[in-house]
Every structure is written in structure tokens, then in C-alpha cells.
Amino acid sequence: MNRSRCMLVVLVTLALLVTGWVPNVNGQVAKTLLVLGRLISDAVSLDPAQAFEFTSVWVDKQVYDTLVDFSKDFSRAVPMLARSWTVSPDGKTYTFRLRSGVKFHSGNPVDAKAVEFSIRRVFRLKLTPSFIVTSFIDKPEDVVAIGRDQVQITFNQPMPETMMASVLANPVTGIVDPALIQKNATPDDPMANKWLSTNDAGSGPFILRSWRRNVRIDLEAFPEYWRGRPKLNRIILLEMPEPTTQLLALQRGDIDAAMSLLPRQYRELAGRKDIIVKSSPTFSLRYLAMNVGYEPFSKVQVRNAVKWAIDYDAIKRIWEDAIDPGQTIVPARMFGHLPERPYRKNVERARSLMREAGYERGFKAELLTVPDPPLPDVAAKIKEDLAAIGIDVEVKQLRSADLLGIYRAQKHQMVIARWGADYPDPDNLAKAFADFDMRQLAYRNQWDHPVKQLVKQAVGELDRKKREELYKRIQKITLEEGPYVVFAYPLRQIALRANVKGLEPSPLYETYDLFEVWKE
């Protein structure tokens, strides 16, 4: 054999050895390990005072405990680190009694000082999600430890129970271990934000073991958790940005759950024995907004003509059924939701409204959207629908950086966008959509309507029945006069291997309680 042939044989043998000429056996993830495929590259920081992206909030929900949590139907607060609480007659001051014997992952005790420290830390750091705290608590001194096991929190307004939980069940108020923070503080960073961005100082059911950006996040069970040892030993969140790759890995059994498939892929999985698809409506909405500052949209008849011109069924089909139809600003399943859907395609009615407003000859309008599917198709359908009533729509696709810049500067005419609740109370949506003074959506669309007084009144209403009525009125007014066409509440879907039990998608961003999850 000559030299080159020898080389060839060696190379081929080496290649076979290296790639291991053994077919992969169908993957099977160990029983106490849960591997989840999803997009994790959105995470910026895992410090609860900073976490505001889906993945980081998701992780913090497993790693940190809060004083209270929401009941499964989000209708009331349930005890967590606080085992009970009392409220002052004016509804502003809550006194919490803490559970005893609870430990941080470090072994340090969770006490009233830790709670005081953690919530005051949010004020000190003043990072993105801090508004959830600072909108309702004026200053750090309003959170006070009383002895070892009581904490008193004074809010700046009367707080119905679900509003209290909106602040204190939110991961931003996750309780951190003060001793670890002090140990890792630096003169530049006295609150150890940088350290906590990638490390663990919690007391939740799982310990953060490691985070490799854009690769994976590893969690491990905390055996001394106060609710008992979690059923899973380890959880791995794997970055899998491409839905088809996720689907293949799920079908092969290399991952236990695929969390960001396309609507079509979830549909295709239906009927399989080894995989189940779970879905839940979300506390978020897809909507079209019209800028009242643009002359034609200053007329309520024109805004309503748009609402009557749109073919809602066709838009639902474009979204491939991954949405739950609805037209009011408080999503279904949330307290106070007004289940009215008056608008459906009625071109005659829309045209007569245009005539009434003096726009029988129509006008031109620009519609902004981002190029994420299926939004360009939705925009094209709206263009077609509005052409029927004389509105000549020019669709412009922009990067979200550009679109948001224009939207915030009130320089748009029409825009398709989404909004998700930061906390599961109608106040969050009412403020965004109807209170001009909040400088959110009503402000961006220049809709300064007296309904904002009702929003301010409703948030502090302690009588649950009256509060519900107020939110229904706010929704009714916004539905009939507001500058929004609400299309739907998107569904959240996940696909699981059939042996994974107890994993339910939640309507509130991506909060999953993994404490109870187990594998058959």
C-alpha cells in the first residue's frame, strides 16, 4: 500500500472513531431531570430586582420566594413566606407574619430583616421592573421589619388584596439573602447587582447552578425547601431558537418540553400519544391603535368605522387559531373582564359612520408593524378591509426599535402592537389603555378621556363588587369610544412528552410552578 492510500485509511478510520459510528439511541431524559427547549437568549439578568424578560422572570419564579402568591385562578392572594396577614381599615397598611424555620439556599434564615432588605433594595437599584413596587409604595422606609417575624408595608393607596399580591407576588419582590448580597457587594455596586445577575441568593424550590448565556440554565432541587423537597432533581433550560429544531428534539425525546413552537406545529402534534399540547389564554392582548392626534381619528365615528370594517374571523384564521377572540382591554379569565364582542365585519355600518364623520371620500393612513409573522399578513388583511370603506392604508414594516421610537413619540397614525399584563389585575390594563396621565398607551395615542378618573378611582376601591363594576364601565367606554381595535388574547402553548405531569402554562407571562412537576 502506498503512502497516500495509507493516509486515506487512517483518516477514514479516525473519522469513524471520532464521530462514533453508532447510531444514537432514541433520547430518553432521566426521570428526575426535566429538559426544556425554548428561547433563553432574552435573559439579561437573573437579579430579581432587574429581571423583566420572560426567561429571567421564569427562572426567578423557581429560585426566589415571595411573601404571597396568587391562587391558581388569580382571584385572591395565598400565603407563601408570609403565613398570614392583617390589613388596616383604610386598606393601606398590611402586616405580614412570616413562616418560621424557612432557610435560604445558603442556610441562612429567612426573617423580617431579609424581607425589609429585599424590597428596599428594589428602591436602591431602581432598575426596569422597579416601577411595579414604586408605583404603590412611596419610599423604602414604608417597608419595616417588626421583630424577627413580622413585616409592615404601607402602600400609597388603599390596596385590594389582589392589588397587594400584584406587587408582593411579583418576582421583583423576591426575597434575597442579605448576608450574601453584603458579602458580594463592591464599592461601585453596593447592592451586588452584578453578582446577583448570574448567581443565586434565594430560598425557592430550586437553586440556580449555572447560566451560560445563549446556551443553557441549570437549576437543582433545594432539598430543605419549606414546602418539601421538589419532585424533580434538576431542570435544564436549553436555548433552541428554531422551532423546527425544538420539535425534532421533542419528538426524539431529547427534551421533555418544547415551549416556543409555531401554532401550526402545535396543531400538528395533536393526536399523538407520546406528546401532549397544553394551552392557556394569556393576560395579554393584540391590538390595533389609532392616533387620535391624526385628524381623521380624532372623530369617534371614524374610529368606530374602523372597528366595524375589520373581518375578525379572517384575522383569527391568519393567527392560525393561536388566539382567544375578545374585544375588551381586560383579557378573559382576569378579574373584571367584560365579555362583550359587539364588533364584526359590517361594511354598510362602517361606511355610514364614515359619512357621519364627513369622511365619505375616505383618507390615507399609515399602518406600522414589525415584520414578525403573521403580523404582515394581519396588516395586509386590515389594509384590504379598510380599503372597502375608503381608507387607503399604507403598511410600513419596521424594526421594533424604530416602531417603538415612533410610537412613543406619538408620530404614528396606526400601529399593530401587543400588550401584556405586568400583574394580573385589571388596573394594569386600565391604566395602560385608558389613563392618559400614566403616559402609556392612552398617552401615545393622544386619547385624553374623562374615563381616566374612573381608572384612578377603581384601583383603590376595596369593595370587590363595586370594583368589578368600575372596570366593566371602563372597558365599555374604551370599547365604544377608545382608539383601539382589540383582536384577541394570544394563547400560550407548550408541548410536553406525555410522561411529564403537572406542568401547566400560566396566563400571566411565563410563570410556571415547577415545584409540583414530576415525571412518570
Contact residues for other proteins (CB under 8 A)? Answer: 18-20, 23-26, 35, 41, 44-45, 52, 126, 128, 130-131, 197, 212-216, 236, 238-242, 244-245, 248-249, 251-252, 254, 399-402, 404-408, 417-420, 422, 432, 439-440
- CB of 53: closest distance to other proteins in angstroms? 8
DSSP type of residue 142: G
Nearer to other proteins, 144 or 404 (CB): 404
Question: Please, which residues bridge with residue 289 across strands?
Answer: 415, 484
- CB of 478: closest distance to other proteins in angstroms? 18
Nearer to other proteins, 130 or 327 (CB): 130
Nearer to other proteins, 1 or 25 (CB): 25
266: three-class secondary structure by DSSP: helix
Give yes or no for a contact between 247 and 258, defined as CB atoms under 8 angstroms apart: yes
Nearer to other proteins, 389 or 417 (CB): 417
- Whole-angstrom CA distances from 264 to 134, 271, 375 are 41, 14, 15
Nearer to other proteins, 19 or 101 (CB): 19
Residue whose grid cell is 433520547: 27
Phi and psi at residue 296, to the nearest 5°? -55, -35
What's the burial of 134, exposed, middle or buried (CB within 10 Å: 0-12/13-18/19+)? Answer: middle
Nearer to other proteins, 224 or 366 (CB): 366
State the virtual CA torsion across 333, 334, 338, 344 in degrees, nearest 10: -60
Across 357-413, where does the E strand assignment appear? 363-369, 391-397
104: three-class secondary structure by DSSP: coil
Nearer to other proteins, 71 or 245 (CB): 245
- CB of 88: closest distance to other proteins in angstroms? 28
- CB of 365: closest distance to other proteins in angstroms? 20
Nearer to other proteins, 32 or 150 (CB): 32
Nearer to other proteins, 68 or 508 (CB): 508
**Which one, of 69, 244, 247, 263, lies nearest residue 166 by Cα?**
69
- CB of 42: closest distance to other proteins in angstroms? 9
- CB of 41: closest distance to other proteins in angstroms? 7
- CB of 27: closest distance to other proteins in angstroms? 8
Nearer to other proteins, 45 or 304 (CB): 45
- Whole-angstrom CA distances from 81 to 72, 85, 95, 133, 181 are 17, 11, 13, 18, 20
Sorted by sequence, the CB contacts under 8 Å of residue 42 that are 6+ apart come out as 53, 54, 55, 56
- CB of 277: closest distance to other proteins in angstroms? 19
Separation between Cα atoms, residue 230 and residue 34, nearest integer Å: 12
Question: Please, which residues bridge with residue 238 across strands?
Answer: 37, 216
Nearer to other proteins, 203 or 511 (CB): 511
- CB of 425: closest distance to other proteins in angstroms? 15
- CB of 37: closest distance to other proteins in angstroms? 8
Phi and psi at residue 365, to the nearest 5°? -150, 150
Nearer to other proteins, 52 or 484 (CB): 52
Radius of gyration over every alpha carbon of the chain, rounded to an integer in angstroms: 26
Q: What nine digits make up the cell of 516?
A: 409540583
- Whole-angstrom CA distances from 488 to 328, 329, 369, 449, 485 are 9, 10, 17, 24, 9
- CB of 467: closest distance to other proteins in angstroms? 23
What's the burial of 404, exposed, middle or buried (CB within 10 Å: 0-12/13-18/19+)? Answer: middle
Give yes or no for a contact between 409 and 291, defined as CB atoms under 8 angstroms apart: no
**Which one, of 334, 310, 293, 360, lies nearest residue 424 by Cα?**
334
- CB of 6: closest distance to other proteins in angstroms? 15
- CB of 93: closest distance to other proteins in angstroms? 25
Nearer to other proteins, 1 or 18 (CB): 18
**Which one, of 170, 102, 109, 112, lies nearest residue 137 by Cα?**
170
Separation between Cα atoms, residue 56 and residue 442, nearest integer Å: 29
Q: Is the peptide bond before 374 cis (omega within 30 degrees of 0)?
A: yes
